[in-house]
Structure 1
């Protein structure tokens, strides 16, 4: 049987989708393969079809039991002999599958990466005729990817143990750096590299600043998706249950899903969703990888994901059948603070700074006014044309924008005149005519740009700075120092017009009293005053300063600027006991301004 006949008989298609045939041919030619193709692009067929035309068994390494189970069920339904070996099975069932493997009765064997470090299992594999290995979700191999798993990193042993057996690696998301890391770690031999376009033409992407808890915005969005299947992602287990309960109260069929639920309840929710008995699952990121449900019509994020890889993979679960689908991202400055606090708790390794950089990219994407699809593609080192009508930014009318060219030139000129040695907060202080000691000591109150920025408040200037960063007019150097790019110099000279969505300035203006929104962009001047007070209290009581409040607490305090006890208790690391001991003294800094 040839490949086209196999395609039609087993998979019901008369033609291959883009890039599929290229990969199938490479596998049939016994080449190593590395394929990067968006969710829904048809990666699975690329390795499921060629094994039917080859002698031997294909061993597929996959990260999730649920994903393996679904694929085995789907393959068997298509008349393809497939099995999985996992901790879900008892000894008798495992022995039965091993016997079938030894008799050559199974074409595809699915296993978790952990099993490949088991000496007994490896020994058994050496007794089989393996035509090729498949590494699914291959981005898990790379420590620079968004879902690094130590057991995936150990898959380098495959080339050591089975030197002549080809490997085909597949993922939906990989930057060039992650792609190189996958190829290197797996020891791929001059692999056939195939990278599909990241543009999902049936997916419309929206991103909006969250108003309050975002629930009214969610209901408005759901009006256009009555009776359709969708996933709503939230940050915490508690919020999944809260949002699901809220939707149930509105007559919408919704269930919560998170890692803390009993396994039978999770399995029942999953089964109900796949079978269309439940319309919506409200979930943490524990739900979703490998869901083989093609008719998911929408995905909503109630909070900011930590990386663009996570975001792209999660929205990719919508519209896998190629039909029109829609996604909505709701986010706020508080999401950014919370995510940065999570990263702060990580050990001091290069990965920690990498995590900060990934979050910064996600923040810029959320706030960006460029084509959403184009921004995602650029992040993954791909270049595409603007989508024109498949994202909120491309459908924004000119009447919804405001010209900020003059303000942009002011900000860029101030960066230049302060010799490109400072962060954005300091530059804005100069623009706003701040009397802070640092500004005066540096003599920057004598610059021509000092005090010319009264038209906007500090939060609005931060937004303008973000826009210039998105456009590539500035770049961030070491220690968060802002520097001009050649494009930024052109803006100063008046060669370009810069505009901004009105809502971005309006939203920021409403929060003007909260001067800082980024955890590492804390208010340095207030932070210094808080540290001085902490030092005085610690000295008086004969204890180390960190016992009073940690640096993280002082930074968060400089962001939130509490003026009463209730607000102070919202600051990271402050409970009733700490407030009773030290709270009033610190409140004085904000109450006496």
Structure 2
């Protein structure tokens, strides 16, 4: 059979999807391949089909047992001889598979990366006619990716041990930096590089600020997806069980899934979900990698993921059948604090700073007013047109916008005048004429831009800074230093007008640093966090919360976001005594924002 006949006979398709045939041909020509194609684009077929047209065995390296098992079952259902070697088999089963391999009765062998470091297994492979290796979920190779695995890094041994055997690497997500890292570490030789468009035209992406615990918003969303399959991601094991129980009380068939559950229970939940016996799985990120279920109609994140790679891969599990699917991200400032705490626990290394930068990108995406699909594509170094009707930002009614060009030029000029050596908070301190010792010691109180930004609160300047990041006028370098791009220089020169949605920033002229109004959601969320801290302090000291700070003080704190003792003393209701008693704890919270 030729490739089209094979495609029809084994897979039931009359034609290839975009880019598939190009990769199939490269593999048949025994080239190394690196393919980056979104979830649902049909990566598996790109290596499953050519091995049927070649002599020998294809060895597929995959990170998860459940994924390997599903692939093997699906291939066997299509009449293709496939097997997996893993800890799931006993000695007798493993020996039987080895005998089948020696007799040439298996075309695709699935293994975990750990097995390739086993001397006995490597010796077995040297005795077999391997036509090519496949590295699935290849982003795990790169330490700059979002799911780096040490055992994947060791796969460089394949080119050392099997120098003439081609390797095909596949992943759904990779920036150009990660792509280069994959190619380098696997030792790929002049690989055929194929990168698909990041635009999933059947996927609608929504992101909203979470109100309280988000459950009311979740129920409103689920009304549009009655009796449909979906995944709801939460941050902790405890919250998966709490949300699953909540849905059960509402008559919705839902089960929790997290790493702490017994293996039998996890396997049963997974199997029931794939078999449509369970409508919704509420899970941590331990669930879903490589899940082979095509009719997932929605994915909800109850909290913000730590990276855009995680987010894109997780929402990519919806609509793999090409039919309409929808995603919802609910997030709050508390999520950012939690994710930063996780990163802070990492040992000091360039990777730690990289993790902070990835989180910053995720935060900017969540807050962005630009096309969601376009923002994701740009992050992965792809350029697409705005989606028009497949994200909340593109379908939102026209909003009144505020011209912030003058403010943007002030901020960019201050970054330039401070020689592009500082973070955004410091730059804003200079703009607002801060008397902080660091500002004075650097002599930045003598700059022409010092104190010219008193028109806006610090929180407003942070919002303006976020907008400039979204537009690509600035970029974040090492140690969170802000630097101008070529576009930023053009903005300073007056070549562009910068606008911001009114609801993100309502500008009022400052009257001797009086009250300012800004993005309501941020105001409300910050107030809630401050109130929670006040309750903790009051409980610990056995006093009423209002004795710590009044609601009026908390609201003023949430608007001004002071970053030092002096700035905090400018807030209504805070004097020296109150600051000495409670100020440091509140400052710690505010600085974490």
Structure-to-structure mapping, 1:261-410, within 5 angstroms: 261-410=261-410
Deviation by residue 1:342-384 (Cα, 9 ceiling, x = unmatched): 1111111221111112112112211222221112112112122
Residues 1:508 and 2:508 are matched in the alignment: no
* In 2, Cα distance between equivalents of 1:207 and 1:376: 13
Deviation by residue 1:243-295 (Cα, 9 ceiling, x = unmatched): 11111122221111000001111111111111111111110000000100001
Deviation by residue 1:545-572 (Cα, 9 ceiling, x = unmatched): xxxxxxxx9997524269xxxxxxxx99
> Offset at 1:77?
0.6
* In 2, Cα distance between equivalents of 1:155 and 1:486: 40
Greater mean alpha carbon deviation, residues 496-505 or residues 143-152: 496-505
Of 523, 527, 533, the residue aligned with 2:563 is 523
Structure-to-structure mapping, 1:420-459, within 5 angstroms: 420=420, 422-434=422-434, 436=436, 453=453, 455-459=455-459
Q: 1:225 to 1:403 in 2, by over 3 A?
A: farther
Q: 1:294 to 1:444 in 2, by over 3 A?
A: same
Kept in 1: contact 2:563–2:590 (CA 8 A): no
SS in 1 for 2:69: helix
Deviation by residue 1:291-313 (Cα, 9 ceiling, x = unmatched): 00001111111111111111111
Greater mean alpha carbon deviation, residues 419-428 or residues 109-118: 419-428
> Offset at 1:412?
3.4
Structure-to-structure mapping, 1:22-61, within 5 angstroms: 22-61=22-61
Q: 5+ unaligned residues in a row in structure 1: which ranges?
A: 530-552, 563-570, 573-593
> Offset at 1:460?
2.2
Q: Name the structure 2 match of 1:100.
A: 100
Q: 1:491 to 1:269 in 2, by over 3 A?
A: same
Kept in 2: contact 1:527–1:558 (CA 8 A): no
Q: 1:309 to 1:458 in 2, by over 3 A?
A: same
Q: 1:147 to 1:417 in 2, by over 3 A?
A: closer
Q: Name the structure 2 match of 1:575.
A: none
Residues 1:175 and 2:175 are matched in the alignment: yes
**How many residues in Structure 1 have an aligned counterpart in Structure 2?**
537
Q: 1:114 to 1:438 in 2, by over 3 A?
A: closer
* In 2, Cα distance between equivalents of 1:196 and 1:386: 17
Q: TM-score normalised to the size of structure 1? A: 0.85
Kept in 2: contact 1:515–1:559 (CA 8 A): no
Kept in 2: contact 1:174–1:380 (CA 8 A): yes
Q: Name the structure 2 match of 1:533.
A: none
Q: Name the structure 2 match of 1:81.
A: 81
Structure-to-structure mapping, 1:566-581, within 5 angstroms: none
Q: 1:62 to 1:411 in 2, by over 3 A?
A: same
Q: 1:257 to 1:401 in 2, by over 3 A?
A: farther
> Offset at 1:489?
3.9
* In 1, Cα distance between equivalents of 2:91 and 2:563: 61
What CA RMSD, in Å, does the superposition of the two structures yield over aligned residues? 2.7
Q: Name the structure 2 match of 1:223.
A: 223
> Offset at 1:453?
4.4
Deviation by residue 1:14-72 (Cα, 9 ceiling, x = unmatched): 00111111111111111111111111000101111111111211111110000000011
Kept in 1: contact 2:523–2:559 (CA 8 A): no
Q: 1:527 to 1:460 in 2, by over 3 A?
A: closer
Q: 1:417 to 1:25 in 2, by over 3 A?
A: closer
* In 2, Cα distance between equivalents of 1:386 and 1:378: 11
